Amino acid sequence: MAGELISVRTKFVDRVTKAVIKQLLDDILEDGIINDGEKESIAEENPTRADQARALIDTVKKKGDNASWKFIAHIKRRDGALYSEVGLSSGQPAPSAAPALAAEPRTKMQRSDNTFAKDQAADKDEAIYPVTKYSSSNRVALLISNIEFTNEKFNRNGADKDEMNMEKLLSDLGYEVVKHTNLTAKAIDDAVIRFSKHRKLKETDSVLVVLMSHGKLGAVLGVETSGDDDKFPINNIYKHLGSEKCPELLDKPKIIIIQACRGEERGSVIVSDGANVLCDDVKQPSPPLPADDDIEEDVLRCVHREKDFISLLSSTPDTVSYRHKEEGSFLIQFIAEIFPQYALADDIEELFRKVMQRFEGLPFRNIRQMPTKDRCTLTKRFYFFPGS
């Protein structure tokens, strides 16, 4: 990827504007690719636009492939014409490593920008959910995370990292985040009802709802749970946001992500000794696992009755899901890894498939978990950034 920057260096220097240089500097500073001193050096020690452009692309190139890919993604977002004129491509991003789990090598390239543009031009009305600059500016998401419980032994260590990762991702995707932490089941239900009446729903192109807690089959648990009580039925999401109760979301994608167990079974036979892998099924003790596997387990089942829903559940029916006690759940780690890399090119179903694919190579001997795309009723493809 750094090599691609070398090959387009001259065209980039010739064509990039000073305004875009300033935006790109802000972007890579926020990403941590450069620091304040490097930004000031590029902007202030180079008197001409061309000199600033050379210093910018040369600095990023030296930071390696991952930095180069992020830089190219910013060029694409900031100036699509420049991106095309200099001959850049989405390419294959360098796999980022989640702190607890090294990413596997990518086996499939992103779709090319030209292919995506042709797809949209041909199918814009029939096959792709409409997204406009105005509708994307009115996006809103609901984020509910239960971390601390009345009974402290049920506290979800590492879930604060999940909350932080999802809030950042939702914001980066252009959603205003309505966030709640540590709710009872009734409070979760009330929060979803209030969200169904949010002022932005009439204008938005989509909504995202993220629930993270302990779980049972068909339910997410509230913070006052002692085992089987304080349960929020998953199906209430579809009832409250469906066509009858929430007509403002008619024909708009409603994307549901749920991090919680869906039962008490495990995806594999676990025989080991250690207690750093924990589970989000409150009836079940933490499984004994190798001491270096700092992981916890996260029971739900939902049934779609309405159109334009898609959900990603953290495990298959009747099984537990896992959470690292410091870095958060596998599902949220992988979503936070995959979405920034591919959301410019892929639709939501393909993004979910890529997340599921990441679970095929879990580097832990006795842990098996497979997320599930549950009963998708999307009738078109939904892209967060169509035409990008």
Write down all domains in the chain, each with its CATH number in brackets.
2-88 (1.10.533.10), 123-374 (3.40.50.1460)
- Among the residue ranges 8-22, 139-153, 283-297, 318-332, the one predicted with the least confidence is 283-297
CA angle (193 as vertex; 141, 201 as ends), nearest 5: 45
Tokens encoding 74: 């910013």
**Residues above pLDDT 90, as percent of the chain:** 44
- Hey, which bits of 31-156 come out as E strands? 140-145
Tokens encoding 59: 């600095």
DSSP class of residue 226 equals S
CA dihedral 80, 81, 87, 88 (to 10 degrees): -10
Cα 17 to the center of its chain, rounded Å: 31
Cβ–Cβ under 8 Å, residues 313 and 299: no
- Among the residue ranges 113-122, 145-154, 234-243, 281-290, the one predicted with the least confidence is 113-122
In the prediction, which pLDDT does 106 show? 34
- Among the residue ranges 62-66, 231-235, 291-295, the one predicted with the least confidence is 291-295
- Among the residue ranges 225-239, 290-304, 367-381, the one predicted with the least confidence is 290-304
In the prediction, which pLDDT does 22 show? 92
Q: Which helix (H) or strand (E) holds 215?
A: strand 215-216
* CA 317 – CA 216 distance, rounded (Å): 10
* CA 142 – CA 126 distance, rounded (Å): 28
381 by DSSP, 3-state: which?
A: strand
Backbone angles phi, psi at 175, to 5 degrees: -100, 135
- In the set 74, 180, 198, 214, the catalytic residue is 214
Average pLDDT, the chain: 79
* Nearest C-alpha neighbor of 296 from the set 98, 149, 103, 158: 158
Instruction: Tell me, yes or no, if 279 is annotated catalytic.
Output: no
User: How many helices, marked H, and strands, marked E, lie in the chain?
Assistant: 14, 13
In the prediction, which pLDDT does 138 show? 95
Residue with tokens 């980039």: 12
112 by DSSP, 3-state: which?
A: coil
Alpha helix positions (H), 124-182:
133-136, 159-172
The residues near 122 (Cβ < 8 Å, ≥ 6 apart) are none
In the prediction, which pLDDT does 270 show? 33
In one-letter notation, the amino acid at residue 229 is D
DSSP class of residue 121 equals H
What proportions of the chain, in percent to the nearest 5, are helix, strand and coil? Answer: 40, 15, 45
Indicate if the pLDDT at residue 95 is higher than 60: no
Number of other CB atoms surrounding residue 102 within 10 Å:
11
In the prediction, which pLDDT does 226 show? 63
Taking only the tens place, the pLDDT of each residue in 242-287 is 988 999 999 999 999 998 886 655 544 333 333 344 555 555 444 4
Q: What is the pTM of this model?
A: 0.61
* Nearest C-alpha neighbor of 79 from the set 131, 38, 30, 27: 27
Indicate if the pLDDT at residue 109 is higher than 60: no
* CA 169 – CA 160 distance, rounded (Å): 14
* CA 167 – CA 182 distance, rounded (Å): 15
* CA 205 – CA 137 distance, rounded (Å): 9
Q: pLDDT band for position 372 (50/70/90)?
A: confident
Cβ–Cβ under 8 Å, residues 272 and 285: no
Instruction: Tell me, yes or no, if 261 is annotated catalytic.
Output: yes
Residue with tokens 């334009």: 308
Bridge partners, residue 181, by sequence: 145
Taking only the tens place, the pLDDT of each residue in 120-136 is 444 455 799 999 989 99
In the prediction, which pLDDT does 315 show? 75
In the prediction, which pLDDT does 21 show? 93
- In the set 246, 261, 279, 302, the catalytic residue is 261
**Residues above pLDDT 70, as percent of the chain:** 73
* CA 167 – CA 172 distance, rounded (Å): 9
In the prediction, which pLDDT does 126 show? 75
In one-letter notation, the amino acid at residue 384 is F
